[in-house]
Amino acid sequence: MSDSPKTAPRVEIAAAGIEKNVVELNERLDTRTGAAHVENDLRLLEALLFAAVEPIDVETLRERMPDGCDVGVLIAQLAHNYAGRGVNLVRVAERWRFQTAPDLEPHLMDIKESPRKLSKAALETLAIIAYHQPVTRPEVEDIRGVAVSGGTLDVLMELGWVRLRGRRRTPGRPVTYGTTEDFLAHFNLEQLTDLPGREDLKAAGLLDSRLPKDFEVPIPMISMAIDEDPIEDDDDTEFVLDFMADDKTPDLDD
């Protein structure tokens, strides 16, 4: 028996409704499968960051994560999940790591490792290198007003906070110094431009109120300077001679 003209439209509408329901069901199933994949990816990312002995960059994470997953989105989700908890996911020096929440520091003072105390000379030298980089040893001495002993630079190099950047294109080709990623990580800085500016230093009471009004805090140079050449592999011996020649010269502030 053939369908009547009135029945045919109703059959077509019903068929279309069934097809729509099937499509929606498949989409929900796909969504559940996708959610499972995302959850597994989050667990793997969490494990990688937890097991890392040092902050880890996004490219390295992409190499270790499954193909096709959006590492950036996963990091954002994981950081959101840990926000407000005792351990947070933070970015330092363009890398990611888990660390205890800053507001809990007073409760952890008894169990955390005591940091190595630096001399006044070492702290001043580190600050000058951080803000004035690339800077040579004579330039550091000129800014401080006293000689810089090789031992002071040696300590900063051993801590991994100061490195050789290059060689200045001037007679004698003195080496230039700069800070490292470990320096950024230790002081919880994402990049050098996050160093405290004039107003921040003034608010912290670290600047003399008698400073001239036109005084400006120098801006460190991240990339190679125009008058600076990169350090070559065969510069190691020259470097030792550069800062060890007067190793017996004491800092006048020590």
CATH number at residue 208: 1.10.10.10
Span between the terminal Cα atoms of the chain, in Å: 108
140 with 193, same domain: the answer is yes
Listed in sequence order, the residues at least 6 apart from 254 whose beta carbon sits closer than 8 Å to its beta carbon are: 119, 120, 121, 149
Q: Over range 187-215, report the average pLDDT.
A: 76
Say what percent of the chain tops pLDDT 90: 37
Please tell me the total number of residues recorded for the chain in this structure. 254
Q: Over range 44-63, report the average pLDDT.
A: 93
- For residue 126, is it within any domain? yes
96 with 163, same domain: the answer is no
For 114-161, how does the pLDDT look when each residue is reduced to its tens digit (9 = 90+)?
566 788 899 999 999 999 889 999 999 998 888 888 788 999 999 999
Alpha-carbon distance of 108 to 102, in angstroms, equals 10
- Number of domain units in the chain: 2
Q: Over range 68-78, report the average pLDDT.
A: 91
Q: Over range 87-109, report the average pLDDT.
A: 90
Quick one: pLDDT at residue 237?
A: 42
59 with 99, same domain: the answer is yes
For 1-37, how does the pLDDT look when each residue is reduced to its tens digit (9 = 90+)?
445 555 556 656 655 655 665 555 445 444 444 677 8
Single out the residue in 105, 136, 170 at which a domain terminates.
Answer: 105
Alpha-carbon distance of 99 to 167, in angstroms, equals 36
Residue ranges making up the domain that contains 225: 120-244
Alpha-carbon distance of 185 to 54, in angstroms, equals 9
Prediction pTM value: 0.55
Single out the residue in 105, 128, 151 at which a domain terminates.
Answer: 105
- For residue 158, is it within any domain? yes
Alpha-carbon distance of 43 to 202, in angstroms, equals 44
237 with 125, same domain: the answer is yes
- How many other CB atoms are found less than 10 A from the CB of residue 60? 14
Question: Which spans in 65-206 are helix H?
Answer: 71-82, 105-108, 120-132, 137-144, 150-158, 181-186, 198-203
